[in-house]
Amino acid sequence: MILATSIPKNSPASSKTSSTSSSSSDQAYCERLASQLRYEDLPDACHSYRLSSRRPTDPFAGMTAGAAVEARRALSEKRESHAQIQRRMTSLGRR
């Protein structure tokens, strides 16, 4: 395992860019480092990037199997699922 205490001078993240225009190569470099190092060991330049989580979140977590299948099908057909319709219809009084 390679430990990096600072960003190498020839790395994409070493070039100073404005804070509003971050390069995708800089983020890719920092994500590669983050997969090998702990957050505390990352160079300071990589701390500003929001590194993606290792596991994607499941938007259908907590639903029963049948409801999750129906919600996925409704999403692919670009229509609202039963849960979305129910939530929309019951939250109208709270506005």
Q: Considering the chain, what is the average pLDDT of its residues?
A: 75
Q: pTM for the full model?
A: 0.40
If asked whether residues 44 and 71 sit together in one domain, one would say no
If asked whether residues 41 and 70 sit together in one domain, one would say no
What is the distance, to the nearest Å, from the Cα of residue 49 to the centroid of all Cα atoms in its chain?
11
Say what the pLDDT of residue 50 is. Answer: 60
Q: Does the structure show a pLDDT above 80 at 82?
A: yes
Say what the pLDDT of residue 68 is. Answer: 93
If asked whether residues 8 and 42 sit together in one domain, one would say yes
Determine which of 16-20, 49-53, 65-69 has the lowest per-residue pLDDT on average: 16-20
If asked whether residues 22 and 50 sit together in one domain, one would say yes
If asked whether residues 14 and 47 sit together in one domain, one would say yes
Say what the pLDDT of residue 25 is. Answer: 77
If asked whether residues 44 and 19 sit together in one domain, one would say yes
If asked whether residues 25 and 47 sit together in one domain, one would say yes
Q: What is the DSSP track for 55-85?
A: S---TTTTS-HHHHHHHHHHHHTTS--HHHH
**Model pLDDT for residues 9-37, shown as the tens digit of each residue:** 555 555 544 443 456 678 788 888 878 88
Sign of the alpha-carbon torsion through 2, 7, 32, 50: positive
Count of domains for the chain = 2
If asked whether residues 52 and 89 sit together in one domain, one would say no
Domain region containing 69: 65-94
If asked whether residues 8 and 52 sit together in one domain, one would say yes
If asked whether residues 52 and 69 sit together in one domain, one would say no
